[in-house]
């Protein structure tokens, strides 16, 4: 029998409502300037509630009589430390505006500061920033700024009334978005406080809208210190002027960061500190740092000695931790960017929304209140992992996914769900454990820097969103998703990378500037959704989206996204069958990952390139540089077990593609042992590797070992997918072949019939049904029932020709089987036609020297001998032996080739050479065990006759 192993497949990682704010007068402080020399004298008590900025010479602003420039004054709105605000009408554009007029004469630093505010705000166009329309002079010595008139109140007045924490978070998230927009264009506010956030009602939504105002202290974050007069003399933009001299303190004391108190350079994280002071105040009704003097405030801010939350507060622990992170004295320990803090706020809001949907308001309040003590003290600070992952994987979502699987009507849907659900549970549990360990390493034990915790948490957040994207797909499962559910879950990005400090610090998640963070994150969400489709076997559906995502990522120049998008596209191309295009795309992804120091994508890309080039395309030499590159990366990363197992897996697959089955056994065996160590002995990832090792043992003549491996593969596959899943056809078919080699034909046919029943129940037109029937026919022929075998084989030929393209390589096997059967029925012309057709298909698809031509050439040589043409038989069998020489052929097949050669040589008079060939035949057939008994009988009979 010409035996065919099933083609090896590739298996694809409490505190919740605020108390009322403390009573007291509203702050009038807008800005305080304290010179270094004042700090060297006795520590004078300064009332930080009343301290105001030094006013320019000239005292209060002189109010215009009726007009200011082209603007018609309608009335005064208010007055602050720096200026007076009027309501005015712009007759040119027929709109009402707010005019801010500087106190006193606009000369020197005051004039520069006002112009800076106008230019800073005019640079921003964001819904959460008050827009500036115009800047001008009144009476030549007073500067005014025309800006949008925000009809409403400010955040200070709003928080004076008791507010639930979700409402506070909503408005602060908007204000934070305004700050992030300023930071994105290089501007720092330097005086963020509730007074500088204006609130109005959005006409479209009816909801409150927060807008940041008063960028009078803003400057470019990269600007050097420079005297104002020098800048003005040069005619430069006033926005580029550093008006506060070296050592000066600028800001409102109660909200100032330690670096502002120290009079040193500030950056965007300075605004983050002020933001978190205001957020803390809004949540708890008191500020985090107590003090009646500037010195006391500065000392508390530097020491990190924060006021505790009031007893009974319902602000959740995760929100309190965000405040604490932003209030760190060392700015390196704060969030690296404002948008990172906002992402944490958004994640918490999403979790809360999902939990409300799942539990209802009453149950939610009870659950949160029960966790209050743990959320604020000791290890409980890091107890939020279950809450976070539970928001993504609640019981209701589990029920939705299970119902979606059942709705497909597939006979194996229940089994597929039973296999996938525990994998999801394990991933969720591992995520929770790593989240809490990451937090505890920094917040509880102090073993890890805040910077590394931030990177690890960002990595885990990405992983959680990947899980969310997959669950979204599973919740809308169709037949293809159900079929690949176990592989889709196994394909989730591994969590191990979130513990790799070196890779995190240098890789794609390291803090790097992004031109458009919002667009980048939206693109990443699209990538997650498309990647989930690829994992679930819907690559063709994802191709267009991934092509667009990769193109947009490249144009956006986001170093954390481009390589990942290209790699995902390459994988989709590979899964869709376009290996050459996948090879090219993956190479680009690899070099992008090298440039971006993105080891995670680099590793995945190298493995993919090994598989495509070395296994699917069969180009071992071309694949070797990728193998070497992956091995070098593996050594640099310390050869972790999981990654080494992945590398060995692909090394084994390349050896198999090259026909070196013996060479594949060592790496595949080691890979299995490592996977068992990492995932346990029953993980679905093992199915493919165990099946591959079984195939190698089968081809090497170790049939009993092969049988045991295939039996294990069947059991693993049943556990992962259920008893009726189509993937079971793979190891069942191979199990049948291992049984056949031991002459256990009845058991082999039973395994094949089970495989056929599974496939036909799902799709009677599946080409694999034809392949199974082909093998059943071959088994019947070997068991001495060629006529029955021929019936089955002719049905298999018809099925394959109806379901496969003309000339498909899978058709070659059935013709070789038909040739064997017709030969046994003494239909030699019919046998020759079948053998020739099998060789033509294989040669066209694989080339003239491929080992797979060996059996159809052997068949033709056997017919030549039966028809008394030994010379032709010798030519064909010598070619067959040459083709299989570079591979590890089945010893039974090799023995039959040597036997045919011995017969041909004897018939042409080369008796000595015939005897040598006969000895080689006997040696190979004896190594074949039970599968070689039939051939040994033929050899004995032939030798006895000669």
Residue-wise pLDDT tens digits, 182-202: 888 778 888 899 988 999 887
Q: How confident is the model at residue 219 (pLDDT cuts 50, 70, 90)?
A: low
Q: How confident is the model at residue 659 (pLDDT cuts 50, 70, 90)?
A: confident
Query: Stretch 624-634: mean pLDDT, rounded?
Result: 95
Q: Which residues pair with 96 in a beta bridge?
A: 89
The residue among 716, 714, 725 whose CA lies nearest residue 412 is 725
591 Cβ contact list (under 8 Å, min separation 6): none
Q: How confident is the model at residue 352 (pLDDT cuts 50, 70, 90)?
A: low
CA distance linking residue 120 with residue 136, whole number of Å = 15
Structure tokens at 655: 């050896």
pLDDT in the model for residue 572: 93
Query: Stretch 402-409: mean pLDDT, rounded?
Result: 94
CATH code at position 754 = 1.25.40.10
Sheet strands (E) in 813-939: none
The residue among 864, 868, 808, 863 whose CA lies nearest residue 838 is 808
Q: How confident is the model at residue 503 (pLDDT cuts 50, 70, 90)?
A: confident
Active centre residues (catalytic): 191
CA distance linking residue 233 with residue 225, whole number of Å = 16
Q: How many CB atoms lie within 10 A of CB 366?
A: 10
Among 353, 385, 406, identify where a domain stops. Answer: 353
pLDDT in the model for residue 909: 92
In this structure, what are the phi and psi dihedrals at residue 84, rounded to the nearest 5 degrees? -115, 140
107 Cβ contact list (under 8 Å, min separation 6): 56, 57, 141
Give domain status of residue 66, yes or no.
Answer: yes
Q: How confident is the model at residue 108 (pLDDT cuts 50, 70, 90)?
A: low
Burial degree of 649 (CB within 10 A; 0-12, 13-18, 19+): buried
Q: Which residues pair with 138 in a beta bridge?
A: 142
Percent pLDDT > 90 in the chain is 45
Residue 208 reports pLDDT greater than 50: yes
Give domain status of residue 469, yes or no.
Answer: no
pLDDT averaged over the chain? 81
DSSP at 611: I
Residue 47 reports pLDDT greater than 60: no
DSSP at 471: H
127 Cβ contact list (under 8 Å, min separation 6): 209, 211
Among 321, 353, 385, identify where a domain stops. Answer: 353
Of residues 127 and 667, the one with the higher pLDDT is 667
Residue 280 reports pLDDT greater than 90: yes
Count of alpha carbons within 13 angstroms of residue 23, beta-carbon side = 0
Lowest mean pLDDT among 46-50, 271-275, 767-771: 46-50
- b/e 20-55 (16+ beta carbons within 10 angstroms → b): ebeeeeebebbbbbbeeeebeeeeeebebeebebeb
- Which is it for strands 142-148 and 132-138: parallel, antiparallel or unpaired? antiparallel
Of residues 656 and 50, the one with the higher pLDDT is 656
Residue 73 reports pLDDT greater than 60: yes
pLDDT in the model for residue 46: 38
Lowest mean pLDDT among 33-47, 520-534, 596-610: 33-47
C-alpha pair distances (Å), 850 with each of 657, 803, 863, 921: 11, 25, 21, 22
Q: What angle do CA 327, 329, 333 make, to 5 degrees?
A: 80
Place of tokens 């520590």: 43
Among 330, 353, 376, identify where a domain stops. Answer: 353
Structure tokens at 861: 């040589």
pLDDT in the model for residue 387: 86
Give domain status of residue 256, yes or no.
Answer: yes
Give domain status of residue 291, yes or no.
Answer: yes
Structure tokens at 881: 């032996």
Residue 60 reports pLDDT greater than 60: no
Cβ proximity of 14 and 317 under 8 Å = yes
Residue 943 reports pLDDT greater than 60: yes
Residue 673 reports pLDDT greater than 80: yes
The residue among 380, 508, 382 whose CA lies nearest residue 436 is 382
Q: How many CB atoms lie within 10 A of CB 795?
A: 17
* Maximum mean pLDDT: which of 128-137, 213-222, 767-776: 767-776
201 Cβ contact list (under 8 Å, min separation 6): 152, 207, 208, 209
Q: How many CB atoms lie within 10 A of CB 322?
A: 22
708 Cβ contact list (under 8 Å, min separation 6): none
Cα torsion 844, 849, 855, 856: sign: positive
Residue 887 reports pLDDT greater than 90: no
pLDDT in the model for residue 500: 81
Lowest mean pLDDT among 361-365, 785-789, 884-888: 361-365
Residue 765 reports pLDDT greater than 80: yes
H/E element, 87: strand 83-90
Cβ proximity of 130 and 215 under 8 Å = no
Cβ proximity of 412 and 724 under 8 Å = yes
Query: Stretch 643-656: mean pLDDT, rounded?
Result: 94
**What is the secondary structure of 266-286 as a DSSP string?**
--HHHHHHHHHHHHHHHHHSS
CA distance linking residue 776 with residue 744, whole number of Å = 13
Give domain status of residue 657, yes or no.
Answer: no
CA distance linking residue 276 with residue 270, whole number of Å = 10
Residues, the chain: 946
Torsion region of 299: left, alpha or beta (phi above 0 gives left; psi -120 to 50 gives alpha)? alpha
Give domain status of residue 410, yes or no.
Answer: no
pLDDT in the model for residue 103: 61
Query: Stretch 101-110: mean pLDDT, rounded?
Result: 60
pLDDT in the model for residue 363: 27
pLDDT in the model for residue 512: 56
Structure tokens at 683: 């993980």
Residue 388 reports pLDDT greater than 50: yes
pLDDT in the model for residue 36: 28
Query: Which structural domain, as residue segments, surrounds residue 926?
Result: 726-945
* Maximum mean pLDDT: which of 148-157, 440-449, 662-671: 662-671
Sheet strands (E) in 121-179: 132-138, 142-148, 152-154
3 is in an annotated binding site: no
pLDDT in the model for residue 385: 84
pLDDT in the model for residue 41: 29
In this structure, what are the phi and psi dihedrals at residue 234, rounded to the nearest 5 degrees? -85, -5
**What is the secondary structure of 528-596 as a DSSP string?**
HHHHHHHHTT-HHHHHHHHHHHHHHHHHHT-TTTHHHHHHHHHHHHHHTT-HHHHHHHHHHHHHHHHHH
CATH code at position 292 = 1.10.510.10
pLDDT in the model for residue 221: 52
Structure tokens at 785: 């029932």
pLDDT in the model for residue 107: 52
Give domain status of residue 463, yes or no.
Answer: no
Query: Stretch 239-255: mean pLDDT, rounded?
Result: 50
Residue 134 reports pLDDT greater than 70: yes
Give domain status of residue 360, yes or no.
Answer: no
Residue 231 reports pLDDT greater than 80: no
Structure tokens at 398: 């589990």
Task: Report the SS3 class of residue 208.
Answer: strand
795 Cβ contact list (under 8 Å, min separation 6): 773
C-alpha pair distances (Å), 302 with each of 221, 305, 556, 870, 918: 22, 8, 39, 97, 91
Of residues 467 and 375, the one with the higher pLDDT is 467
Q: In what order do the strands lie in the sheet with 132-138?
A: 67-68, 71-79, 83-90, 95-102, 142-148, 132-138
Cβ proximity of 106 and 56 under 8 Å = yes
* The total number of structural domains that make up the chain: 2
Structure tokens at 637: 């990363």
Residue 118 reports pLDDT greater than 70: no
Query: Stretch 56-73: mean pLDDT, rounded?
Result: 64
Rounded to a whole number of angstroms, the CA Rg of the chain reads 38
The residue among 282, 259, 262, 283 whose CA lies nearest residue 271 is 259
Residue 112 reports pLDDT greater than 60: yes
Of residues 473 and 519, the one with the higher pLDDT is 473
Lowest mean pLDDT among 341-350, 375-384, 677-686: 375-384
DSSP at 57: T
- List, for residues 593-621, the tens digit of each pLDDT value: 998 888 889 999 999 999 999 999 999 99
Residue 237 reports pLDDT greater than 60: no
**What is the secondary structure of 852-874 as a DSSP string?**
GGHHHHHHHHHHHHHTT-HHHHH
pLDDT in the model for residue 234: 33
CA distance linking residue 628 with residue 763, whole number of Å = 42
Q: How confident is the model at residue 481 (pLDDT cuts 50, 70, 90)?
A: very high
Please give the distance of CA 568 from its chain centroid, rounded to a whole number: 9
Q: How confident is the model at residue 696 (pLDDT cuts 50, 70, 90)?
A: confident
Kindly report the pTM of this predicted structure: 0.54
Cβ proximity of 479 and 408 under 8 Å = yes
């Amino acid at each position: 029998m010409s035996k065919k192993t099933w083609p090896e497949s590739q298996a694809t990682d409490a505190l919740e409502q605020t108390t009322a704010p403390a009573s007291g007068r509203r702050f009038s402080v807008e800005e305080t300037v304290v010179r270094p020399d004042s700090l060297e004298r006795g520590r004078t008590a300064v009332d930080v509630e009343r301290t105001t900025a030094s006013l320019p010479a000239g005292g209060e602003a002189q109010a215009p009589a009726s007009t200011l420039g082209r603007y018609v004054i309608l009335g005064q709105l208010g007055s602050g430390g720096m200026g007076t605000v009027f309501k005015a009408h712009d007759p040119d554009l027929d709109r009402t505006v707010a005019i801010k007029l500087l106190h006193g004469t606009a000369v020197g630093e005051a004039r520069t500061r006002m112009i800076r505010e106008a230019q800073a705000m005019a640079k921003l166009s964001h819904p959460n920033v008050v827009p500036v329309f115009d800047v001008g002079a009144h009476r030549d010595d007073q500067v005014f700024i025309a800006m949008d008139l925000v009809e409403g109140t400010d955040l200070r007045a709003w928080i004076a009334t008791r507010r639930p924490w979700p409402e506070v978070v909503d408005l602060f998230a908007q204000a934070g978005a305004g700050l992030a927009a300023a930071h994105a264009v290089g501007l720092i506010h330097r005086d963020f406080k509730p007074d500088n956030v204006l609130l109005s009602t959005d006409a479209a939504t009816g909801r409150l809208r927060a807008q940041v105002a008063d960028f009078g202290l803003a400057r470019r974050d990269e600007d050097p210190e420079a005297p104002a007069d020098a800048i003005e003399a040069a005619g430069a933009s006033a926005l580029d002027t550093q008006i506060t001299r070296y050592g000066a303190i600028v800001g409102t004391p109660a909200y100032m960061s330690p670096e502002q108190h120290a009079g040193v350079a500030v950056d965007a994280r300075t605004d983050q500190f002020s933001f978190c002071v205001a957020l803390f105040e809004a949540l708890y009704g008191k500020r985090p740092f107590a003090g009646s003097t500037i010195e006391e405030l500065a000392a508390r801010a530097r020491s990190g000695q924060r006021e505790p939350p009031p007893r009974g507060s319902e602000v959740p622990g995760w929100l309190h931790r965000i405040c604490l992170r932003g209030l760190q004295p060392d700015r390196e320990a704060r969030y690296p960017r404002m948008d990172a803090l906002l992402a944490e706020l958004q994640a918490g809001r999403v979790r809360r929304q999902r939990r409300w949907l799942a539990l209802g308001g009453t149950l939610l309040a009870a659950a949160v209140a029960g966790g209050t003590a743990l959320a604020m003290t000791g290890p409980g600070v890091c107890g939020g992992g279950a809450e976070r992952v539970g928001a993504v994987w609640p019981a209701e979502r589990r029920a939705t996914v299970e119902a979606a699987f059942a709705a497909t009507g597939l006979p194996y849907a229940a089994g597929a769900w039973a296999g996938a659900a525990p994998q999801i549970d394990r991933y969720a549990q591992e995520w929770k454990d790593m989240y809490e360990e990451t937090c505890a390493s920094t917040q509880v034990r102090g073993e890890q820097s805040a910077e590394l915790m931030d990177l690890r948490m960002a990595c885990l957040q990405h992983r959680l969103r990947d899980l969310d994207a997959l669950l979204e797909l599973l919740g809308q499962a169709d037949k293809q998703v159900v079929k690949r559910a176990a592989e889709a879950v196994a394909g989730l990005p591994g969590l191990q990378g979130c513990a790799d400090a070196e890779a995190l610090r240098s890789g794609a998640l390291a803090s790097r500037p992004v031109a458009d963070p919002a667009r980048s994150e939206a693109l990443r969400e699209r990538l997650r959704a498309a990647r989930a489709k690829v994992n679930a076997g819907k690559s063709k559906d994802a191709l267009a989206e991934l092509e667009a995502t990769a193109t947009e990522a490249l144009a956006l120049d986001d170093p954390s996204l481009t390589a990942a998008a290209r790699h995902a596209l390459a994988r989709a191309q590979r899964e869709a069958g376009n290996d050459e295009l996948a090879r090219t795309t993956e190479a680009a992804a690899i070099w992008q990952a090298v440039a971006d120091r993105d080891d995670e994508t680099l590793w995945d890309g190298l493995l993919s390139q090994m598989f495509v080039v070395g296994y699917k395309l069969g180009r071992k030499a071309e694949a070797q540089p990728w193998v070497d590159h992956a091995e070098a990366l593996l050594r640099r990363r310390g050869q972790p077990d999981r990654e080494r197992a992945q590398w060995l897996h692909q090394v084994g697959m390349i050896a198999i593609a090259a026909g070196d089955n013996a060479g594949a056994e060592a790496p595949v065996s080691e890979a299995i042992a490592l996977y068992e160590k990492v995932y346990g002995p029953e993980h679905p990832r093992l199915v493919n590797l165990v099946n591959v090792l079984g195939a190698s043992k089968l081809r090497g003549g170790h049939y009993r070992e092969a049988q045991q491996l295939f039996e294990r593969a069947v059991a693993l596959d049943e556990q992962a997918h259920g008893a009726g899943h189509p993937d079971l056809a793979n190891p069942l078919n191979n199990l049948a072949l291992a049984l056949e080699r031991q002459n256990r034909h009845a058991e082999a046919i039973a395994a094949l019939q089970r495989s056929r029943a599974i496939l036909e129940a799902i799709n009677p037109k599946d080409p694999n049904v034809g392949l199974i029937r082909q093998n059943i026919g071959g088994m019947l022929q070997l068991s001495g029932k060629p006529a029955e075998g021929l019936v089955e084989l002719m049905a298999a030929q018809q099925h394959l020709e109806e379901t496969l393209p003309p000339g498909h390589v899978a058709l070659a096997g059935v013709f070789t089987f038909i040739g064997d059967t017709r030969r046994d029925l003494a239909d030699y012309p019919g046998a020759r036609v079948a053998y020739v057709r099998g060789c033509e298909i294989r040669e066209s698809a694989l080339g003239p020297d491929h080992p797979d031509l060996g059996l159809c050439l052997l068949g033709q040589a056997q017919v030549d001998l039966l028809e008394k043409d030994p010379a032709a038989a010798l030519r064909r069998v010598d070619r067959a032996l040459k083709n299989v020489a570079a591979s590890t052929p089945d010893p039974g097949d090799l023995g039959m080739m040597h036997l045919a050669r011995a017969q041909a040589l004897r018939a042409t008079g080369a008796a000595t050479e015939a005897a040598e060939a006969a000895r080689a035949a006997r040696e190979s057939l004896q190594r074949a065990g039970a599968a070689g008994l039939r051939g040994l009988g033929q050899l004995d009979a032939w030798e006895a006759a000669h």
